[in-house]
Structure 1
Amino acid sequence: VVEKGGDGKLNERVVRRFVGKYTRPLPWQAALQQWGDAHVGVPFSEEEHAPMLVELWGLAFADRDAPPRKHESWGELGFQQKDPATDFRGGGMLGLELIMRLARDHNDAFRGYLERSKGESAMKGYPFACGMINVCYALLELMGLLAG
């Protein structure tokens, strides 16, 4: 409906009518936001997350011991820095949980993806762990679960 010669208040009346009734979060949206508040942006904890990194290494390379937490070998998993904890920004440790879920529950697929990420050459590969972390971050952003 277009208001002819109106005072421009039509939009205001429509908005007022819908605010509250249709702008409250639906139950699933509220639950998702509550979950996001509890899981997104969690900082790296040496006590909780360092053992997960060691387990992740074992799931990727069963025949090799995990390197120290600050070591260039973490690049083999696709971390960008010597310290993998520095790659978990923005979305927090949820990225590590995502990688761990894939590695634990679908290990053959995980190892296949990791191997394919190396590519035929350095120019055709990609950093697997960072890719997973970025996908996680993009999904969090899409769902509106990132602060700010």
Structure 2
Amino acid sequence: MHFDVIILFRCKGSTIVAMATNTVRRRHHKHVYDSRNEYLDSTKFDTLDEPLLGNNYGDHYKGYDDASHEDLDDKRKEVNLHWTSLFSNLIAQWSQWLANLVLSSGSFLGRFVPFPSLTMNEDNLICLSPLQEERLGSLRQRLEIQFDGSCLDHQDALRHLWRVAYPNREIPPLKSELWKEMGWQGCDPSTDFRGGGFISLENLIFFAKNYPNSFQALLHKKEGRRAEWEYPFAVAGVNLSFMLMQMLDLQSVMPSSKAGIRFLELLGEDEKAFDNLYCVAFRMLDAQWLAKRASYMEFNEVLKSTRNQLERELSLEDVTSVKDLPAYNMML
């Protein structure tokens, strides 16, 4: 746990963040449990103003039938998932109890524990490196671009997404019933971006190109016993992009959330940290979906649980890159 008060200064070309902070870092349990089966309760999660899935989707998308997946392997996976989920919950609760114990003891440890790749001076000021500043600025520029269905570059990006998603199929017109197969709510994908912006389309393309096996598994709902009324893949991706923007506090002058400050550290190690984190979050969302045996109307609850778990993993002590997250094992 930690509490932060952020004050911004400029010092020799670097941004300095003054932090009145009380921090306790949690031990990393990445080798204790399989994050592929992580399941966490979302009742403690704060209000999330994510763009909700539309309510006109049910007439177009029915997903997969449970009966077609009721085989012995799936039943074994469900049993393993249940017990692993219980165990991982126990680990998370123990870690939180330990953090509270150290904090309540009045320890000064948290006041002087720096973020591993963020510079902190004797006055407890965190300085962003020029590289971190540059990458954060570039990311913010991407976030400001709204999707424009009349823009030729954006149209080409949509076609490119279809090409990497269905390499052996002809690209349909930009308004076609075929787009519903990818998980858009209607025949015109451009109406579904809303708060996600153009970066949400870039995220989907990045996912398809850099983690093709995971992308195809989620696109075609290949794993686990699926609900009769499944979440729409593409629209879920837009929601995830928006959720990450909120969680990382990227639209503020300087991120002040715990996850947002930690993300600055990851950004110093990886220029594509946001895109890679998005891919991990998508995998995590699908794992939560299966663990909850969720259906379409429970999507927002699953999205909140995904954010909850992602914040927990970002707080682990030895996470200095996206690849250090326990959930990254699902991408391999």
Once the 2 structures are TM-superposed, how far is the Cα of residue 91 of structure 1 from its aligned partner?
A: 3.0
- In structure 1, the residue matched to 2:154 is 49
Deviations 1:87-127 (A, max 9, x none): 1122311111110001111222211110117974541x111
Q: Is 1:103 the counterpart of 2:208 in the alignment? A: yes
What amino acid is the match of 1:72?
Answer: E
TM-score by length of 1: 0.71
- In structure 1, the residue matched to 2:239 is 134
Q: Is 1:27 the counterpart of 2:128 in the alignment? A: yes
State whether residues 70 and 82 of structure 1, in contact with CA within 8 Å, keep that contact through their aligned partners in structure 2: yes
Once the 2 structures are TM-superposed, how far is the Cα of residue 145 of structure 1 from its aligned partner?
A: 2.2
5+ long unaligned stretches in structure 2 = 10-17, 20-124, 253-332
Query: Would you tell me which structure has more strand in proportion to its own residues?
Result: 2
Once the 2 structures are TM-superposed, how far is the Cα of residue 36 of structure 1 from its aligned partner?
A: 4.0
TM-score by length of 2: 0.35
Q: 1:34 to 1:121 in 2, by over 3 A?
A: same
5+ long unaligned stretches in structure 1 = 1-14
Q: In 2, Cα distance between the equivalents of 1:134 and 1:49?
A: 19
SS in 1 for 2:220: helix
Residues 62-73 of structure 1 mapped to structure 2, 5 A cutoff: 62-73=167-178
- In structure 2, the residue matched to 1:81 is 186
Q: Is 1:38 the counterpart of 2:123 in the alignment? A: no
Once the 2 structures are TM-superposed, how far is the Cα of residue 74 of structure 1 from its aligned partner?
A: 0.9
What amino acid is the match of 2:137?
Answer: Q
- In structure 2, the residue matched to 1:3 is none
Q: How many equivalent pairs are there?
A: 130
What amino acid is the match of 1:112?
Answer: A
Larger Rg: 1
Please provide the CA RMSD for this pair.
2.9
What amino acid is the match of 2:128?
Answer: P
